[in-house]
């Protein structure tokens, strides 16, 4: 009888221990499943953001209004999303009092948005251009043009749109600016939305397969 009671007690302890282990294992599995679900949700959100069209916030014109009356040339590739973004930029500048010219571009435009200003309008070899007062005056105008381009790029960047501000030489502007547009105008090129998400994911996979090794992939 005593032996039987001991066996029953031992069996009961075993059942309790086993039950606790099962409960603990279930909690761990639930936590792992929760983490996996959160990771999938995060990745889906990243993919959604990567493929969603670019939207420009047009509520803040304060950085652009000081340059009201300035000219801007907007070029865009024949793509619906790029054309729509170009239209949003045009509307934004128009509301800020800028004079905007839009033109579809048939030549290649790099992915992203590029805002260019003319760095210098002096012509090298021209005696008039080499005069100190002419150089000083052109430097001041160049500073204004750079400020205009920076203002546009800054407003675009606030909407988390990839944008690059750069400058162009006068000789380049002679070919790329339209004939009826002065070199004081800002040139904005709108290309495809950069799709770096999948490229980066592929790079991470290659690095994981080759830890500590060299991976040559694109520009990295």
- Among 6-10, 159-163, 164-168, 181-185, name the one with the lowest average pLDDT: 6-10
pLDDT for res 93: 97
150 belongs to a structural domain: yes
Average pLDDT for residues 123-151, to the nearest whole number? 76
Residues 84, 126 within the same domain: yes
Average pLDDT for residues 100-126, to the nearest whole number? 82
97 belongs to a structural domain: yes
With contact defined as beta carbons under 8 Å apart, do 186 and 119 qualify?
no
Structural domain span for residue 20: 1-40
Residues 10, 101 within the same domain: no
Residues 108, 191 within the same domain: yes
With contact defined as beta carbons under 8 Å apart, do 217 and 208 qualify?
no
Average pLDDT for residues 123-149, to the nearest whole number? 75
82 pLDDT tier (thresholds 50, 70, 90): very high
| 3-state SS assignment for residue 53 | coil
Residues 29, 134 within the same domain: no
Query: In total, how many domains does the chain have?
Result: 2
CB atoms within 10 A of CB 202: 12
Tokens standing for residue 145: 């043009």
Residues 116, 29 within the same domain: no
Would you say residue 202 has pLDDT above 90? no
Residues 24, 126 within the same domain: no
48 pLDDT tier (thresholds 50, 70, 90): low
> Nearest Cα to 163, choosing from 218, 95, 116, 107?
116
76 pLDDT tier (thresholds 50, 70, 90): very high
> Nearest Cα to 218, choosing from 184, 194, 182?
194
138 belongs to a structural domain: yes
50 belongs to a structural domain: no
Residues 134, 187 within the same domain: yes
Read off φ and ψ for residue 80, nearest 5 degrees. Answer: -60, -45
Residues 75, 179 within the same domain: yes
130 belongs to a structural domain: yes
Average pLDDT for residues 21-39, to the nearest whole number? 64
The rounded distance, in Å, linking the Cα atoms of 148 and 168 is: 14
101 belongs to a structural domain: yes
Average pLDDT for residues 160-174, to the nearest whole number? 85
Length of the chain: 220
215 belongs to a structural domain: no
The rounded distance, in Å, linking the Cα atoms of 76 and 81 is: 10
Report for 10-24, 165-179, 204-218: range of highest mean pLDDT:
165-179
Average pLDDT for residues 51-56, to the nearest whole number? 84
Contacts of the segment 143-148: beta carbons below 8 A, 24+ positions apart: 145/117, 145/118, 145/119, 145/184, 145/186, 146/117, 147/67, 148/67, 148/70, 148/117, 148/186
pLDDT for res 8: 43
pLDDT averaged over every residue in the chain: 76
Would you say residue 220 has pLDDT above 60? no
Read off φ and ψ for residue 157, nearest 5 degrees. Answer: -65, -30
30 pLDDT tier (thresholds 50, 70, 90): low
Residues 12, 110 within the same domain: no
56 belongs to a structural domain: no
Residues 84, 9 within the same domain: no
160 pLDDT tier (thresholds 50, 70, 90): very high
Residues 3, 79 within the same domain: no
With contact defined as beta carbons under 8 Å apart, do 167 and 153 qualify?
no
The rounded distance, in Å, linking the Cα atoms of 120 and 157 is: 25
Q: What is the CATH number of the domain that holds 152?
A: 3.30.70.2390
Residues 17, 72 within the same domain: no
């Amino acid at each position: 009888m005593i032996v039987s009671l001991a066996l029953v007690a031992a069996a009961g302890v075993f059942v309790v221990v086993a039950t606790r282990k099962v409960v603990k294992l279930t909690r761990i599995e639930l936590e792992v499943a929760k983490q996996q679900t959160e990771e999938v949700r995060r990745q889906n959100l990243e993919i959604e953001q990567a493929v969603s069209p670019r939207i420009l916030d047009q509520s803040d014109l304060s950085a652009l209004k000081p340059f009201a009356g300035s000219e801007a040339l907007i070029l865009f590739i024949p793509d619906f999303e790029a054309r729509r973004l170009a239209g949003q930029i045009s509307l934004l500048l128009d509301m800020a009092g800028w004079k905007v010219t839009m033109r579809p571009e048939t030549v290649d435009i790099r992915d992203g948005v590029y805002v260019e200003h003319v760095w210098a309008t002096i012509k090298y070899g021209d005696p008039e251009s080499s005069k100190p007062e002419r150089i000083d005056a052109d430097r001041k105008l160049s500073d204004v043009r750079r400020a205009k381009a920076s203002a546009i790029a800054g407003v675009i960047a606030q909407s988390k749109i990839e944008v690059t501000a750069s400058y162009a030489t006068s000789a380049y502007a002679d070919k790329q600016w339209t004939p009826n547009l002065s070199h004081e105008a800002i040139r904005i090129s709108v290309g495809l939305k950069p799709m770096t998400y999948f490229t980066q994911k592929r790079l991470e996979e290659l690095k994981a397969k080759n830890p500590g090794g060299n991976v040559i992939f694109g520009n990295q």
